[in-house]
Amino acid sequence: MLGTLYGIGVGPGDPDLLTLKAVKILGRVGHVFAASSSSNDYSLALDIVRDHLPREVPVSFLDFPMTFNKDRLEEAWRANCETVVQRLEAGVHVAFLTLGDPMTFSTFIYLLRKIRSRLPQVPVEIVPGITSYQAAAACAAVPLSEAEETLTVISGAKGGERLPEVLPFSDNVVLMKAYKHFPQILQKIRDLGLQDRVCFVSRCGLDGQVVEKDFAALEGLKPHYLSLLIVKKTGTPP
Ligand SMILES: C[S@@+](CC[C@H](N)C(=O)[O-])C[C@H]1O[C@@H](n2cnc3c(N)ncnc32)[C@H](O)[C@@H]1O
């Protein structure tokens, strides 16, 4: 019997935003996996769920390097997949923790794809989590969409290059991963004349939370990795 692979969304940071379903499943799995960056073994997702893990359950970190280098990523995903597959083949139920939601800009998506091609018959259950942008909209009291408005969610990891492309059909845009190429993202917003229609949220629900609606205050900022922007093209500005 193969173990079940659980993809668990743990929400954006505040442990109170963990779902009851996530807590129930974490109480009965045989092994918990979490992603770590290459440079350390710290996993925020693990911190969020720690109080709900039975003391005896083994926890392992999977190294997903933060790089666009396809070969390095491919090798990391292959190795991580093998580590998890070994446990599943031993009949162990396994949880993989993801910040926010597992099917939204998440390493779980890659892991799931790899594991399914290696072990097509593996049972999978995915527990959705509150996404970072839902939590950010709530803490900033900025609506994400209303009435007939559209909402588009894009990555800012490469400087928000798709913002001009999506804007014509988007009333609201969320730019995730708004940290590395932040000056380029701000320039795109300036070029599009949207300076008064931006809300920046960083470390939502965590120590050091920032909510900033004044564009001038964003100039020169070096945002934390856990940062995003909500851009409201139409309706009331943020
Ligand atoms: C790899 S994505 C993970 C997205 C996650 N799966 C979700 O559903 O929100 C990482 C990005 O999510 C956003 N993020 C995650 N947690 C956040 C938080 N607590 N506050 C602000 N942004 C956050 C940031 O844009 C960060 O760069």
226 alpha carbon to ligand 1 midpoint, in Å? 5
For CA atoms 228, 231, 235, 238, give the dihedral sign. positive
CB-based burial label for 35 (10 Å; 0-12, 13-18, 19+): buried
136 alpha carbon to ligand 1 midpoint, in Å? 10
* Residue 192 belongs to some domain of the structure: yes
**Same-domain status, 122 and 138:** no
Q: How far apart are CA 69 and CA 98, in angstroms?
A: 22
Query: Which atom of ligand 1 is the closest one to the Cα of 175?
Result: 25
At 43, is the pLDDT very low, low, confident or very high (cuts 50, 70, 90)?
confident
Q: What is the pTM of this model?
A: 0.94
For residue 152, the domain's CATH number is 3.30.950.10
- Atom 14 of ligand 1 has which residue's CA nearest to it? 226
* Residue 14 belongs to some domain of the structure: yes
**Same-domain status, 114 and 178:** no
Of the residues 67, 92, 127, the one at which a domain ends: 127
User: Of 221, 199, 227, 226, which is closest to residue 48 (Cα–Cα)?
Assistant: 226
Assess whether the C-beta atom of 171 lies below 6 angstroms from ligand 1: no
**Same-domain status, 114 and 144:** no
- Atom 2 of ligand 1 has which residue's CA nearest to it? 105
- Full residue range of the structural domain in which residue 118 is found: 5-127
At 67, is the pLDDT very low, low, confident or very high (cuts 50, 70, 90)?
confident
Residue 172 is predicted with a pLDDT of 98
Assess whether the C-beta atom of 201 lies below 6 angstroms from ligand 1: yes
Assess whether the C-beta atom of 99 lies below 6 angstroms from ligand 1: yes
At 76, is the pLDDT very low, low, confident or very high (cuts 50, 70, 90)?
confident
Residue 103 is predicted with a pLDDT of 98
SS3 category, 51: helix
Number of domains in the chain: 2
**Same-domain status, 66 and 104:** yes
160 alpha carbon to ligand 1 midpoint, in Å? 15
Give the largest CA-CA distance in the chain: 58
Assess whether the C-beta atom of 107 lies below 6 angstroms from ligand 1: no
* Residue 49 belongs to some domain of the structure: yes
* Residue 169 belongs to some domain of the structure: yes
179 alpha carbon to ligand 1 midpoint, in Å? 11
Say if residues 178 and 223 touch (Cβ distance below 8 Å): yes
At 64, is the pLDDT very low, low, confident or very high (cuts 50, 70, 90)?
confident
Over range 23-36, report the average pLDDT.
96
* Residue 200 belongs to some domain of the structure: yes
Residue 52 has pLDDT above 90, yes or no: yes
* Residue 173 belongs to some domain of the structure: yes
Say if residues 21 and 130 touch (Cβ distance below 8 Å): no
**Same-domain status, 145 and 62:** no
Backbone φ and ψ for 97, nearest 5 degrees, come out as -85, 140
Structure tokens, 35: 């992603």
Of the residues 89, 104, 127, the one at which a domain ends: 127
- Answer with the residue of higher pLDDT: 124 or 35: 124
For residue 69, the domain's CATH number is 3.40.1010.10
**Same-domain status, 138 and 108:** no
**Same-domain status, 184 and 115:** no
* Residue 237 belongs to some domain of the structure: no
**Same-domain status, 100 and 16:** yes
Say if residues 163 and 188 touch (Cβ distance below 8 Å): yes
Q: What is the pLDDT of residues 14-24, one digit of tens each?
A: 999 999 999 99
- Our mutation pick for probing the ligand 1 site, out of 226, 229, 230, 231, counting the most ligand atoms within 8 A of Cβ, is 226
**Same-domain status, 77 and 172:** no
Q: What is the pLDDT of residues 194-226, one digit of tens each?
A: 999 999 999 999 999 999 999 999 999 999 999
Residue 144 is predicted with a pLDDT of 97
For CA atoms 74, 76, 82, 87, give the dihedral sign. negative
DSSP-derived pairing of the beta strands 227-232 and 172-176: antiparallel
Query: Which atom of ligand 1 is the closest one to the Cα of 177?
Result: 27
2 alpha carbon to ligand 1 midpoint, in Å? 32
Backbone φ and ψ for 112, nearest 5 degrees, come out as -60, -45
Of the residues 81, 106, 127, the one at which a domain ends: 127
**Same-domain status, 93 and 157:** no
* Residue 190 belongs to some domain of the structure: yes
**Same-domain status, 26 and 121:** yes
21 alpha carbon to ligand 1 midpoint, in Å? 21
211 alpha carbon to ligand 1 midpoint, in Å? 14
At 39, is the pLDDT very low, low, confident or very high (cuts 50, 70, 90)?
low
**Same-domain status, 16 and 94:** yes
% of residues, the chain, pLDDT over 70 = 97
Average pLDDT score over the chain: 94
Residue 68 is predicted with a pLDDT of 77
